[in-house]
Chain A
């Protein structure tokens, strides 16, 4: 009996169209647009100005607060302008535009394919290097990694959990990364273990990726302390709290951090980025992006420079098909519908999904028949229909008392609802309001 998390969950059609497609390196575009907010927290502060020349890997923006991250140029060339550009948030935000000229890298970066296993650095030094490289959680949450590796005082991590479940339908970027860069991933894991000083790490992989499970299990025998755990396919297993529950059978309490259960969770892509940052001095300037969709001629996995406009990726995958209704940044469950194909790839872009018009349009909403299917699938044990009503009637007390802030916005409720009710739309709104109320009360 394979493990999974113990409350709720759904199993949408996996549609992993690009599974097994080798990683293709996408050509450097003519211009990149690098947004200053690619992570959760304060936007980074630009330290370059119009007309400056930069190399690939040059630091171009520094953290704008405690929760923030460095940003590096992903190309070499000249800063065209610092202006607002529409990004995945759907709003215009500040970004650095760089005109590409050649591809000259910073000298410190080791661009060879040599595998470097040994690392003499201390945990603190590893974390510093990770911070310097601007690494954020690559699973989509984009939380700056160095902060997650530095638990608040009084907490000690006991286990490192690597999130390789890739529970979102369609996405395959983590899967192919494990297949092609397995050794690097495992070295990254040992570095992370050293950084938080734990002896045990578990890589959780859903068993719809048997090749990755086998491949990593073979490799892991050479890396003491790393264990591969196959997990039952269940969405949203990639949720931090769900994964902890699945792997170590501990449920993080409402409002608590994962560290309270002794766990630190990192994405498998992050682990690869950590390897490159620590062993190769390479900042986070490119990532693997899945480009997929049922009508796309060539669904694929592309190694893409950060800041590349996504239409370059779509072109590589065969161009925008006729009848495309929606372009989604991320997977179909939690991704964001993008306003235009000019939006750049950011650190958190795990995939680009194109849906047809028919797939895009929602069906009309009906009355709630109280079938409780949303209650049964909610992985946080909430009552989505109650929370939606509370939000609709602005009953914030009721919403708070029923743990609206615990919602992880996985979308299982809206996915399941037979009456096509937009449960998550309302809950997300209510969650924001209630969090605002709680913050105001504390202040």
Chain B
């Protein structure tokens, strides 16, 4: 029983960007190539292209996030769209308005695209399935499910440094269980043909059947990062200690914290990534975070180009061809 992919329109083009799941390699490559064409825009004197002029993009953030929201806003503005920032957590939902009512009200204001972040897994799917047909939805993080633009900017960063994905060995370290970023990264890496994707964590921070995600599982950091080309560190939330998942930050750093010494097990030219914000001294040493192998700040700046690419592709299904090429 194959259902039509809700993310694609009837011509197989990207309509919503909700998850990497179900997207083909060519589609991901197109996103990366389009992003590549946008990287120049930020360096121009006039940092704008008129691709989405006259369109209204609504940033709908039910969870606080300064950085992700800002990069989406910058991306939208560089595409000449009008941006509406709504911090919904503080307004309507606390008054008892349902999510569906919020959607309907914003639709009535003629919004063309929603960028949504919500603490419920599946929130972006929900929006996409109930929104009017002309509206595009981009998932900026839903619960523990997906954060596909973050994953794509990570892929962009890897491709910039390593070229092809085939032949690469990538390790993701930390709280896989609760991480929407990790889920999307794993899907993207596998779709793009990465040779081996590894996850490294204690069992309390892994899902029940991690191999079903298409990864090799390691519990020992040094063993897990041996000969890898890319090390992706995940953020550790403080509440993991209270949920009896870990004894302490101290023991976590002892076992899974990335140090210069441990990084020696990886390939000599391995890069270190982190979706941010970093807990220095918990996930990694400052020496590593600020060191020559770290590409963490590049990730942030590539984030704008990748989000521009996804926005123009999902919305400008018609406009995109003319302007982006």
Are A and B associated in one complex?
Answer: no
Residues of B within 8 A of A (CB): none
Residues of A within 8 A of B (CB): none
